[in-house]
Structure 1
Amino acid sequence: MAHSRTEKSKVPASQKKRNRTNEDDDEPDSSKLSSRVQCAEQKISPKQLEQKVSEVIQYILTVDQKKIPIKKSDISKNVLKDHRYLINTVMKMVTKKMNEVFGMDLVEIDSKLHSFILVNKIPNAGEALADSANKKLGLLMILLSIIFMKGGVLKCAKLWYVLKKFGIDQSTHHIVFGDVKKLIMEEFVRQKYLQCSRVPHTDVPEFEFRWGARAECEVPKMKVLEFTAKMYRNAPTDWSSQYKEAVEAQS
């Protein structure tokens, strides 16, 4: 009888094999991905890896010329291709090289879409926006200063009202800026300098503007306040709440 009980407690080898197979199928996705990454890394030499890093950097610099956010998925699809499982390794190397060689930070602005922008680390980069020679960026500086001085958010109608004082009318083709409405509501928004969102709970569609993710990263609030003070021939400290916010943003 004891012999019979022992036989019943044994698990057939074929069953054990099936159990192991099922356990393998239940392996977490992260582990599987890690294994695939290791396999991919074994199939590429250090020289090839450096080449991929250089290609990604060139791609990022090219896309950034249009001031459009760079998507991780696009890098995998358009640059890495068959080596797309190296994306995390390559992006770490790219981020380090962009910082050390170009003096630029690769900043993630959308964790869901995994999109990035390049931010110049040079402290005086914000001054370029105030350069009157660059007309579009001069207009952008005016927009950012208006929004900042109004508490960080401004309704669309109010923005156009203020811009009219600068001789800029959305219904009129501007001699320098051309289609101003398209420039502000499409180009600057697409480039993430501005954020435009609909005001909730309104019968008639209303929109409001805020600083976009790129502006938050690239443009020092103190530079904007100094720009505004210069326009009005005042001192930055004349606006106490904005000055306090600008100082806090520097720390």
Structure 2
Amino acid sequence: VVVAHAFNPSTQEAENKRKQDSSKASSSTMKPPRSSLIGTVRVVVKYMMQMYKMKKPILKADVLKVITKEHRKRFFEILKKASFNIEVVFGVDLKEVDSIKHSYTLVSKMNLPNNGTVTRGRGLPKTGLLMNLLGVIFLKGNCASEEKIWEFLNKMKIYDGKKHFIFGEPRKLITQDLVKLKYLEYRQVPNSHPASYEFRWGPRSHAETSKMRILEFWAKINHTVPSAFQSRYDEALRDEEERAGAAGILSDTLIHGS
């Protein structure tokens, strides 16, 4: 997700100084440990996703084996960074199973088939992409034009007609696969000439997640809080109240009968 920041002329001098300091640091005092820590996090992410695909538990003892000796004391910091990356890219949460054995498992935020890969065979979870798209649709007033969707995807370096190393062929994924699975609705705008199309949430998205969860996901990616999206936050709160009310009515019906 790309976050736009307003340019403030009064900060230009400070920005120039920061660039000079950064340039000096890059030429003389670059610290390998930070670079190797980032590399270690990537290795851990790759290992954890392999365990997820094989539906195997993640053990601290096994993760330590892929971490360089100099960084093993920073296990929990590395685990936190790796789990954040996995959550925002793949839409998968790290859950602790056993606090004594330090055993963990990865759980998808939604129930896409084939462990989140959508189609059978090799591949990586598409849940993160779906949740990003649901966020765009929600923030655009619960309906996003195809043009706006592609503008957003292009910022993520996902392009129409170009196979992505994680998400495969994006047009097929968002206009066919996720539509057939009822996670997205893709329809022609009425009376549009030439034909233009728009996206909405599908019924399975309404069933498996909520506007507030999607807003929380977007807030985490952008290092902010859900209430920062003020107009949509109020709508998400109303949606939560309606869901709670509907759940209460259903519960009363099941207990007391109609």
TM-score w.r.t. length of structure 2: 0.46
Structure with the greater alpha carbon radius of gyration: 1
